[in-house]
Amino acid sequence: MSSRVLRKVQTERQKDSPDNEPVSDTEPELPIGGARRKQFNVNRYDLLNEQSQSESEVKEDDNETETAKSCDGQNVQECPKKKRKKKKKKNSGKHAANQHRSSEDNADVDEVERSLREVNSLLGETPQIVTESRKAQHHQKSILNIQHKHLNPNNELKRIFGSKVIQAEHKRKSRSGSRTHLKTTWMVAYKEHWQQANKSGLSMALLETKDGINYFVYEHNQNYRQVENRFLRAVESLNPDTIVSIINDYPYHVNALIQTSDLCKLSEDLAMAAELIEQALYYLEVAFHPLFSVTQGNCRLDYRRQENRALYVAMFKHLAFLGGRACNRTALEFCKLLLSLDPEGDPVAVKLSIDFYALRAKEYQWLVDFVEQSDIRFYLMQLPNFSFSVAMARFYLGDVVKANDLLQDALLMFPQALMPLLEKCSIQIDKRVSQHSFFTMPDEKNTPKALAPLITLFVSRNCHIWKDAVLLPWLEKNVHNVLDRVDQNDPIVQDYFEKRMRRFSGPIPLSIARHIILSDEHKGLQLTADSEVIMSFDPLPPKDSVNVYERPLPATVVNNSSNPLLMFLGSLMPDFNPNQPVAPVPEGPPLDEAQAVERGDNTDFRRSVVSLVDAMRDLLNNIRPEQQRRNYDDADDSADDDLT
């Protein structure tokens, strides 16, 4: 407390003392308590405000103190009036002090600012440069930011067809009966006829947390492992009925649902195939760890672990079905979610399709921003799909100059993509283009083996986008500009040729081959060795795979009744038939279901698939939740009682 405040307090005390108070003969003495109560009506917090006054105010306070002393011998009623007048002067002086601060005030302000800077440094506040980097990191995070509302395809369907149509469809498909409390899921919505996954045996564990990234792994309990081994033997038997029996007993088994979905696609029942994938995703999401988030982008799943691959495969197939339903914005969101699980490795090469769904969803600015931020790490512009898609996005955004440069670079780097693209779009090719050797030279001369599948995938997937009437004149103009540069012997033509042959000279990466297989675009393409069997629920496992399960040996048909031991061992197999004759083993590797159908080695396979789909349809229509089943049973019992 300053000396001027002490002097003021001392003056007030002197005024309160009985010796200094004027005593009148006609007026009785006031009690001490009353005098003190009158004195302490003053706001005590004014003392704190007075401590920050300037030197001019200190002089005012000194003058007030002298005036107060002179009031000691005067009437008590006159002093408060003078104090009120001086209080107004003090307020005006304080306002003037706020406008014109003295050197002492500036020193105090500097001290306060220095203290604030020290506190900010302790709390983690950073200079301007670090702040800019934080903004860049936040912008990069927002590029792959996932929103829950975009994971629900019904929201997109409502925008396309209207909310009333979608709600009426849901009411038509809904069933009556009570529903139990279910865990909230974001990827798919639970349907009433699905089996609840309370004791599915599937769970997720947190392995470690490093640099703010959480690494998870799926775990199977003992019962789930027994079902998985039974499923693997059923796949090797090439008998779909055995897979149906597994789903009848264990409807939450994920790989069985994925495999059955592929069988439904063979019979062209896409609705059931899509629902089985949704059911698999539901069971996978119910098993999520509490720390596993689909929106934060800090969760990783190692594809090398055998238990984790089901989520990658199911999510990839799910976004493909979403794209088939014209839910391109939802499919784009699932692409981002799939990429966030392993952005560095990208085991299913979702980068080959994320640009397609971005264009279909008209997210042009997002695509440009994504490439600008990720091209340094992933070299996206070296892929044919991004080379053409980013040019198209720039064109739709109105940046025609930049779009022309990007499209010409794409045509110079990948000239073999133009003619198949024009043929797919049913466009009459210009005579100059059709006769020029730059676009019509043989593929073996200018197309490496690793590039051919990428070109085929790009043309078959993106051809519908290039049918836009606005794009065709722009494409034609840039094609002729490219031919002009080729005829003028532009050195960039040879430079791009050398880069193309060098970058795609090696074998096809497993991630790209896996993507092509899951996209059903591998017909006529040699992606793997002849001795390698492709399983649709786990296509092309990594070379350094961490396996929990081993593929069983192909089942051998045993029909020799003279050996009881062999007959007993053979009866343990799910496809055992003692009357089946021994079929000659064909030369070459064993075939999966699709290869068997193509070669005609199993004439009853398609008939089995049809019966499988019929059985699955009856199964899904007759499954009811346990609580609902009990309600119906109680109703039946009550009806029987009434009859009796």
Q: Would you list the DSSP string of 48-79?
A: HHHTT--HHHHHHHHHHHHHHHHTTTS-TTHH
Rounded Cα distance between 217 and 195, Å, is 24
Rounded Cα distance between 117 and 111, Å, is 10
Task: Identify the three-state secondary structure at position 302.
Answer: coil
Left (φ > 0), alpha (ψ -120 to 50) or beta: where does 398 sit? left
DSSP 601: S
Residue 160 pLDDT exceeds 80:
no
pTM over cut 0.85: no
Q: Are 347 and 514 in contact (CB under 8 A)?
A: yes
Dihedral of CA 179/616/198/299: which sign?
negative
Helix (H) or strand (E) holding 592: none
- Across the chain, mean pLDDT equals 74
Give me the percent of the chain exceeding a pLDDT of 70: 57
Q: What is the pLDDT of residue 529?
A: 52
Q: What is the pLDDT of residue 599?
A: 43
Task: Identify the three-state secondary structure at position 219.
Answer: strand
The alpha carbon of 417 is separated from its chain's Cα centroid by a whole number of angstroms, namely: 31
Q: What is the pLDDT of residue 17?
A: 52
Residue 475 pLDDT exceeds 90:
yes
Identity of the residue numbered 166: I
Question: Using one digit for the tens of pLDDT, what is the confidence trace for 105-133?
Answer: 445 545 656 665 665 555 544 444 334 44
Token digits for 244? Answer: 């149906």
Instruction: State mean pLDDT over 558-571.
Output: 49
Left (φ > 0), alpha (ψ -120 to 50) or beta: where does 441 sit? beta
Q: Are 352 and 521 in contact (CB under 8 A)?
A: no
Rounded Cα distance between 478 and 459, Å, is 18
Dihedral of CA 455/461/463/468: which sign?
negative
DSSP letters for 434-464:
HH-HHHHS-HHHH--TTTHHHHHHHHHHHTT
**27-41, 54-68, 330-344, 613-627 — most confident range:** 330-344
Q: What is the pLDDT of residue 146?
A: 83
The alpha carbon of 298 is separated from its chain's Cα centroid by a whole number of angstroms, namely: 10
Q: Are 407 and 378 in contact (CB under 8 A)?
A: no
Instruction: State mean pLDDT over 512-526.
Output: 80
Residue 427 pLDDT exceeds 60:
yes
Token digits for 240? Answer: 């779909």
Token digits for 321? Answer: 């079905």
**216 CB neighbour count, 10 Å cutoff:** 22
Torsion of CA 427, 363, 279, 242, to 10 degrees: 30
Q: Give every CB contact of residue 424 below 8 A, 6+ residues apart in sequence.
A: 459, 460, 463
Question: Using one digit for the tens of pLDDT, what is the confidence trace for 254-297?
Answer: 999 999 999 899 888 999 999 999 999 999 999 999 999 888 88
Residue 90 pLDDT exceeds 90:
no
| 146 compared with 469, residue with greater pLDDT | 469
